[in-house]
Structure 1
Amino acid sequence: MSDEFQDSVVRFSGNVNISNIADAHGILLAALEQNNSITIEIDDLEEVDLTFVQLIESARRSAAEGERSIALRKAAQGAVLQVLQRGGFLDPEERDRTNFWLQGANQQ
């Protein structure tokens, strides 16, 4: 997993899966401790699994509880979008979550 944390932007690239999810967790935690708002870039992710989506969802909820925010720079696509679709994370009834991942786009 190649990642980068700079200012309030966290960039993930390569593979983020169960074998390295602890690293991704540490990066997000550090970013949230240093910033009230972070933006996550996921464009360069090649392979992800459900643990990545769960991590982002958990971080998003925790941030909201602490009056902080997390946003995606662009709507989910590629490997991330596939995991979201397979995992049932794009339920139209869950507008907040679906809007977060798709940024209001009519994709599914």
Structure 2
Amino acid sequence: MIQAFHDLTAELLTVLEDRMIAEREDKIERITELIDRRDEVIAQIKPPFTAAEQQVGRRTMLLNQQVDSLLKLQKQEIQRDIQEINKKKNSSNKYMNPYESLSIDGMFYDKRK
């Protein structure tokens, strides 16, 4: 089981590092599928572990750290794209209705007597 988890982690790392996947949706779908499979496998891993399994586990932990950092980068990239889309949408709305955001709470003081 630990070897299967290691193999899935290595495959997930490969998918995350792959810049050749053209569609983001395809890449996210593949990542989600691998994470779900990893969750199923990790639920089946039970101690005690042999020395070989412990060694594979250590290598898997190192791979998992790389996966975590790449997932954080992917998340930041998606958040950045969402912010850009929101800015464009906001700019488009201001262009279509430029007087929508005017403040009406001002006062006028007449200094004449």
Structure with greater helix percent: 2
Q: Which of 1 and 2 has higher RCO (CA within 8 Å, sep 6+)?
A: 2
Structure with greater strand percent: 1
TM-score of the superposed pair, with normalisation by structure 2: 0.30
